[in-house]
Each structure stands twice: as structure tokens, then as C-alpha cells.
A and B are shown apart, each in its own frame.
Chain A
Amino acid sequence: MSYSELPGFVEQAEAFGETTVTVEPARIRDACLHARDELGFQMLVDIVATDYLNWGGRGVSGYIATASGRDLNFPSTQGLQTLPEVKARRFSVAYHLLALRQPPVRVRLKCWLDDGEPVPSVVSVWPTADWHEREQFDLMGIRFDGHPNLKRLIMDDDWEGHPLRKDYPIGGEPVRFSEAE
């Protein structure tokens, strides 16, 4: 199924049996309205924000496999070394949509943002987005324009910082004789 008529459509990718449609962040609300009304995605399942700071830069040498795929039990299998592809922006916000049909259709609408860039809120499209957007604001610091009640949900009201960001420390107390974490 092609999603090219979504407003703000950038590209569409298929991987692991799932469709990911990249959309411009400024048009995400129009895209969601179109998906709900024209394409029949009645349910918003989830909104997830991901922070790609230091993606691929930590010396991740990638997944070692053979040219024909993963080969079991053959020793010393060298092969293709894949490096993670570089991401253009720091944050991505993924909207998982579900169409209640037989068979069900799922799609992931994704938009890419920089730090501090706001995203239009989709609360008026699916009311369930209310808490999802508040949670992502709380934990990742993504602002959703037009959200009626954008306050912290999970952390304390006076908490400083956004814990799930990659530059926020894990916290806790140091444990002797364990790994560096």
C-alpha cells in the first residue's frame, strides 16, 4: 500500500514486515487526519520519541554476518560489516497507527526533529494522544504545539531535565566491582 498521498510525505520504507512513512514534522497533524479519515486508521496505538544523539559513533562495529545471511555454527565467520546509517536529525517521533480491519493494517508515521523544534499535537485527531504526548514531553522534552495540557506526567512536577535523553545520566549510585555503568 502506498502512502504517497499523505500531506507532508517524504518517503516510505519497508523493513521487518512493517511500513514506516516519513512525514514532515510541520504537517504531521494533517497527515494523521488524512490517515484517520481517508485511509481508515481509527486507532492511534502509540507515540514514541527516540533520541539519536551519538548514534553510530560509539564504535559499534555493526552486525557481523556472512554474505548470504547469518550462518550458524561455522567458526570464524567473517563477512559483511554493516554500520548503522547516520540520522539527519537528533529526535524522531513515531506514531503507530492501527486500522481495525481483517487483516489489520499497521503503519508507523515518523517525523524527524532537532532539539527544541515543536510538533503539532494530534489530540484533536485521537484523544488518546493526550497522555502519550505528555509522556514524551516529560521524558524526552519534545514540545507539542496545541496540546491543551502539556505538563509533566510521569516525573515530579518540579523535575529538571528530561530523563530519557541520551545526555541525561542514568543516575543511581555507584556499585563496586561492576562494569563501568
Chain B
Amino acid sequence: MAIAPERPRTRAWPVVHADQYEGTRIPWPVPTARPVPERLRGSDDVLRINFGPNHPSTHGVLRLVLDLDGEQVVGLDAVIGYLHTGFEKTMEQKTWWKCITYPERIDYVGFQNNELTFVLAVEKLLDLEVPEKATWMRTLLCELSRIHSHLIFLGTSALELGAVSMFWYCFRERELVLDLFEMVTGQRMHTRYFQVGGLAEDIPEGFYAQCRSFVEWMPKALDDYLALLDRNAIWLERTKGIGVLSADDAIALGQTGPVLRASGVDWDLRRDEPHLSYGQLDFRVPVYANGDVYDRYRVRMDEMRESTRIVDQCLRRLERLKGHPWIADDRKVVLPPREELHTSMESLIHHFKIVTEGFRVPEGEVYVATESPRGEQGCYLVSEGGPKPWRVHFRAPSFVALEATATCVHETLVADLIAIVGSLDAVMGDTDR
């Protein structure tokens, strides 16, 4: 396994005063809403419409109140909250074990990354050491989840721009990823495979061969997608130069993930703040300079390729770790194996305590951030020392990405607005939590 090469220091990004620097496109005074310009205010030509919570692009229930001058968007205000599920309050009522089911449904497209963030936060509070096999498998599944998420992004964004065939091709590959999830965890989506301390079960035998064949197939599929889209004049016309977000604006707006990397900022939490086993993996981080829709699409395409390479490396490592434990041994937190319940009284008591009352996590607060397909997914956890969380908050990358909508939309057409919202890749479950 190649150690990640030494990266040159990223240059210290200019610290900007958002209300004072030239060339910012962030609207003022409200950064997330573009007001109708002076020349058109009160004019009869401006039509206010609802880009409603139910609209055919599959990004879920986002509502944009648009002011249109003909086909041009001159004013924009985003209304969210149509999928508010009360995750944070619900999780305060459940024990730590039961809580793990919930974060998956937040970002329901990259579901394993959310689960990972929460589980890592609990393990940080517990100071629990996770066995090596579990770490590598978690890395593998998170990268598969990233591929899954980017496939959905590509399929649906291309569908909205009119490249309808891409939808079917991407979903064909998505079925391969879901087959792998189903083989390992028993569920296609919302797998709930990560436990506090490791994984729920061992990795099945047939997984290695099937994952290997997926890893061999996926680059060819990606080449197919590039062949379909990348030289396509219509695709380039629709995506190049649309929705430009400069690097300074992106940092001021708190963007992370592919949106930030497409704006030219070389920042990836997998490489810069390594969690799981990313520190031991060899992968590149794609960075593009223009910050338009095309660059965001290219960043995600390249990320899919890199994710496939990461899955390959994890697979090779896992094949050498067959037979190793997949969950930590700490009986105060992890259920003992069932065979032991017949012979050991302490195991029975531990099992009873964990299942009925739940294990206790020491008092404290912690913030853990991982690189989800959408950006920095963070979990802020406050524990009282009891069996239930006191406060759980998820820093949702889609929430922050939608804040940038008003900045990217600068006298664009409605059709381009759809491309921009698609490229920001916001999942409404993640936005509203």
C-alpha cells in the first residue's frame, strides 16, 4: 500500500471580507437570496413564480421563489423545510444503539457516510478502538457509497439537461453497487451495517469476487459516460460557464466537497484530515479551476474513478484480513457473541444491560467531520454520560450548498438554473434533517 505522497502546503487562501471585497457575487444584504435589481423593481415585466416543492427534477422537495424577467431569473429565494424530519430531536429519545438507524436517512443518497460520521463521533467519545478489518471495510463501503451517490447525481442531472440515456446507464451501474451492499448487509439502501465498535457482521465469502468484478467493470462504464457526454457539444454548451462560483465566494459560503474543489480550492478531508484508513491509501484529489457546472461534473466523474481505485486497494487489503475480528471486544459497548451467552454469566449480564438500558457514553462534546459525497458531513455530539444522546446535530453539506444558489444564479436562464441546482447536488433530506 503506497503511503499518500507528500502534498505541498496549500497556499493560505486570501482571507476575505465578504462585504468589502471586489468581485464578489454574493448578494447583499441577505447572502442567500438574490433581490430583484433596482431597474426592474416594481416593473410589470417581472413575474414571481414558485419553482415548487413538487417539481420534476428529482432533488426532492426544494422550493425556489423566482422572479422572472422573461426567461431570465432576476430574483431568487429558497424555501426549505418540506422534508424536516426532526432527526435531531428524535435521536435524543433513543439509546445510542437505536440512534444509528437514523443518520442514514438524512442524506439518503450517500447513506453510509452519514452513518459513519455518527458512529465515528460516538467512538471518539468512548475512545474505542476499532479493529483493522472494520476500518478497511468501512472505507470500502463509504467509497462504494460515494460511487452510488455520484451515479445518481450524474443520472439525474443529465436527465434534467436532456441527456436522458445517461439515467439508464447510471442506474445500471447503481444496481451493481446495490447488489454489493445487499450481499454484505442484507439491504439495498439504508444498510445500518456500521456499529459502534466495528461492523455488524463478518464479510461474506462471495463478496470479494463480486467486488473484484465490479472494480474491473466500473472504469469501462466511466469511459462510456465520458464518451457520451464529454465531447458532446450540447452538453458543453449547457454546462460550461454556467453558475460560476469563485474560490473566495465558495470559502466565504462555507462550501466543501466537489463544489469547493471545482472552484479551485484543493481541499479534501480524506487527504487533509484522514479518518478511517485514508491515510494509508493512494488516491488523487481532482481539482478544477473554473467553478462552473462543467467543472463540478468533472470533479465528480474523476472522484468516481478514484473511488474505484480506493475500493480496489481496500479489497486487496481485506483479502489478507480474512478471519480477523470485525468488531471491538469491549463488552460494555458491543454485544458479546451469542455462543458465549450459553456459558458466561458476565456476557449474559452485559448483553442484558446493553439491550435494555443501552451502553453509556462518557460526558463530553465532540465534532467529527468526514468527507461525504456532498462535502463535509459533520456530527456534533453532546453526551450527558447517559444511555441517550443529549444533543445531536449534523452539519449537512447540502444545507450549505443550497446557500450558494443565489450566488451562482446571476442573470441566468431558467434552464441554466436547473443545471446549477443539479450541480450543487443537494439532497433535501440532508438539507432539512
Chain A interface (Cβ < 8 Å from any Cβ of B): 15-18, 20, 36-37, 40, 42-46, 48, 50-51, 55-56, 58, 60, 62-65, 70, 72-73, 75, 82-85, 94, 96, 100-104, 106, 108, 123-128, 130-131, 135, 139, 148-149, 152-156, 163-164, 168, 170-171, 181
Within 8 A of A (CB), among B249-279: 251-254, 256, 265, 267, 272-273
Q: List 11 A-B contacts (CB under 8 A).
A: A15-B365, A42-B15, A63-B360, A70-B330, A82-B385, A96-B380, A102-B7, A103-B273, A127-B252, A128-B31, A181-B93
Could you list 5 further interchain pairs (A-B, Cβ under 8 angstroms) beyond the known A100-B265, A148-B29?
A40-B15, A96-B380, A131-B403, A149-B32, A170-B90
The answer, among A43, A75, A106, A155, for a CB contact under 8 Å with B367, is A106
**Chain B interface residue bracket vs A:** 35 or more
Contact with A along B273-301 (1 / 0, CB 8 A): 10000000000000000000000000000
- Chain A residues with Cβ below 8 Å from B86 are 163, 171
Are B253 and A72 in contact (CB-based, < 8 A)?
no
Within 8 A of A (CB), among B102-137: 124-125, 127
- A102–B90 alpha-carbon span in the complex (Å): 37
Flag whether B84 is at the interface (Cβ < 8 A). yes
The answer, among A50, A73, A130, for a CB contact under 8 Å with B31, is A130
Q: Which of B224-232, B313-321, B390-398 contacts A (4 or more CB under 8 A)?
A: B390-398
Are B331 and A73 in contact (CB-based, < 8 A)?
yes
Q: A48-B393, A131-B399, A163-B86 are in contact. Are A84 and B385 (CB under 8 A)?
A: yes
Are B30 and A124 in contact (CB-based, < 8 A)?
no
**Chain A contact residues: helix, strand, loop or mixed:** loop
Question: Which of A75, A106, A163 is packed against the most chain B CB atoms within 10 Å?
Answer: A75
- A149–B330 alpha-carbon span in the complex (Å): 49
Name the distance in Å between A7's Cβ and chain B's nearest Cβ. 17
Q: A43-B254, A108-B367, A130-B403 are in contact. Are A148 and B30 (CB under 8 A)?
A: yes
The answer, among A42, A60, A106, for a CB contact under 8 Å with B385, is A60
Are B10 and A101 in contact (CB-based, < 8 A)?
yes
Are A55 and B384 in contact (CB-based, < 8 A)?
yes
Are A70 and B80 in contact (CB-based, < 8 A)?
no
Name the distance in Å between A114's Cβ and chain B's nearest Cβ. 18
Are A42 and B84 in contact (CB-based, < 8 A)?
no
Name the distance in Å between A93's Cβ and chain B's nearest Cβ. 12
- Chain B residues with Cβ below 8 Å from A123 are 31
Q: A84-B384, A104-B273, A124-B19 are in contact. Are A45 and B395 (CB under 8 A)?
A: yes
- Chain B residues with Cβ below 8 Å from A20 are 365
- Chain B residues with Cβ below 8 Å from A37 are 15
Q: Give the nearest-CB partner of A64 in chain B.
A: B360
Are A45 and B369 in contact (CB-based, < 8 A)?
yes
- A72–B346 alpha-carbon span in the complex (Å): 11
- Chain A residues with Cβ below 8 Å from B15 are 36-37, 40, 42
The answer, among B84, B88, B330, B367, for a CB contact under 8 Å with A72, is B330
Question: Which of A72, A127, A170 is packed against the most chain B CB atoms within 10 Å?
Answer: A127
Contact with A along B322-363 (1 / 0, CB 8 A): 000000011110000000000001100100000000001111
